[in-house]
């Protein structure tokens, strides 16, 4: 538990800060939002003035439900408002970045220049695009950033309401694909601990519910799945359809449930000029190595990459070429 080992340094930074800003990655998921809210509750219990920065205008269903339910209960601001909130003493401001360590993936990249004192809490592998000159608490063994923040809640003995414990548990369930991926005994203990605080498994399932139209649209891609080397599944979307990143991620998760499939790659447009790839692995294939060669990131079991001004077919060729190199073919 890397975060527990470094908690004294983290606490010192928190103690000396007058204004604290929390920022996760773009396209918030339940792990990014859950860990942000969990950290917010820790800071509030320590009587700190803190804000969560959210610039996203569209949200996946679970995130949208939480934000609606918490409307007015937590201090959420847009990146453009940060400058107004900064303490006049530059050294008294602290930015805590959650669930990513890449500068181009944060909610608002301009904030990185505004605040000198920065901390990263993340479970993804560091790479060439990782933010420099920051205090990093990075633990690839953790299933999720929600697991890391829960470790901190337990270490600090923070009083957490069952509702917030549920949000943290939902982030863990999401990132482990229902405890199928990146799950250790520590992950199960963390889930037990959150349950002991009152986290509701029923409410978690409510947060993870999907839109039936989006689900049906994703299922259409299953009819176009190609299996490479009898164990790697590829799914390509039609060039006329634009998907949200999380939709591609959910389908990549789904493909791992099929017999003999050890890794999956789902390719589709995420905007007019951008093709996105979501990848998953059960651990036998290092998808991170493939994705990093193409400019993406993640870890050995889950990751993504985007391509501007390339067709879906061109992206597919690039991916397959990298897979061949890795497989030694």
Would you kindly state where each structural domain of the chain is located, as residue ranges? 2-207, 212-327
Whole-number pLDDT of residue 114: 95
pLDDT at 216 over 80: no
Mean pLDDT (whole number) for 91-97: 97
- CATH number of the 212-327 domain: 3.10.310.30
Confidence of residue 23 (pLDDT cuts 50, 70, 90): very high
pLDDT in tens, 30-70: 999 999 999 999 999 999 999 999 999 988 889 999 999 99
The closest alpha carbon to 297, from 287, 309, 283, 282, belongs to: 287
3-state helix, strand, coil in the chain (%, to 5): 45, 20, 35
pLDDT in tens, 257-294: 889 999 999 999 988 889 999 999 887 778 888 888 88
Confidence of residue 243 (pLDDT cuts 50, 70, 90): confident
Contact in structure between 134 and 118 (CB atoms under 8 Å): yes
* HEC sequence for 119-155: EEEECCCCCCCECCCCEEEECCCCCCHHHHHHHHHHH
CATH fold, domain 2-207, is inorganic pyrophosphatase (n-terminal core) (3.90.1640)
Whole-number pLDDT of residue 249: 85
The burial class, CB within 10 Å (0-12 / 13-18 / 19+), for 252 is buried
The closest alpha carbon to 42, from 187, 194, 160, belongs to: 160
Q: Which two tokens stand for residue 150?
A: 């829960």
- Asked if the domains at 2-207 and 212-327 fall in one CATH topology, the answer is no
High-pLDDT (> 70) share of the chain, %:
99
Contact in structure between 158 and 45 (CB atoms under 8 Å): yes
pTM of the shown model: 0.83
Whole-number pLDDT of residue 329: 52
Mean pLDDT (whole number) for 163-177: 94
What's the chain's average pLDDT? 90
d(CA 255, CA 250): 9
Confidence of residue 254 (pLDDT cuts 50, 70, 90): confident
Q: What is the edge-to-edge ordering of all strands in the sheet holding 302-308?
A: 225-228, 232-236, 263-271, 274-281, 302-308, 297-298
pLDDT at 212 over 70: yes
pLDDT in tens, 181-202: 789 999 999 999 999 999 999 9
């Amino acid at each position: 538990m890397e975060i527990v080992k470094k908690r004294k340094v983290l606490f010192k930074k928190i103690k000396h800060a007058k204004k604290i800003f929390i920022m996760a990655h773009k396209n918030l998921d339940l792990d990014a939002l859950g860990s942000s809210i969990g950290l917010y509750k820790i800071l509030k219990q320590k009587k700190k003035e803190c804000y969560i920065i959210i610039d996203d205008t569209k949200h996946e269903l679970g995130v949208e439900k939480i934000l609606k339910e918490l409307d007015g209960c937590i201090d959420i601001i847009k990146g453009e408002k940060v400058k107004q909130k900064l303490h006049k003493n530059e050294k008294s401001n602290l930015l805590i970045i959650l669930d990513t360590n890449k500068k181009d993936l944060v909610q608002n990249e301009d904030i990185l220049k505004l605040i000198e004192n920065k901390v990263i809490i993340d479970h993804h592998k560091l790479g060439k695009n990782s933010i420099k000159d920051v205090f990093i608490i990075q633990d690839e063994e953790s299933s999720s950033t929600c697991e890391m923040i829960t470790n901190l809640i337990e270490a600090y003995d923070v009083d957490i309401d069952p509702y917030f414990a549920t949000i943290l548990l939902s982030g863990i369930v999401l990132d482990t694909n229902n405890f199928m991926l990146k799950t250790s005994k520590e992950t199960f203990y963390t889930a037990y601990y959150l349950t002991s605080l009152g986290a509701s498994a029923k409410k978690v399932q409510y947060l993870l519910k999907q839109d039936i139209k989006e689900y049906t649209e994703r299922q259409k891609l299953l009819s176009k799945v190609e299996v490479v080397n009898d164990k790697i599944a590829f799914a390509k979307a039609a060039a006329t359809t634009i998907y949200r990143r999380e939709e591609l991620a959910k389908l990549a998760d789904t493909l791992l449930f099929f017999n003999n499939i050890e890794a999956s790659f789902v390719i589709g447009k995420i905007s007019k000029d951008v093709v996105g790839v979501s990848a998953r692995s059960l651990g036998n294939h290092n998808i991170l190595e493939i994705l990093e060669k193409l400019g993406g990131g993640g870890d050995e079991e889950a990751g993504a990459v985007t391509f501007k001004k390339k067709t879906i077919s061109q992206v597919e060729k690039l991916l397959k070429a990298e897979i061949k190199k890795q497989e030694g073919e």
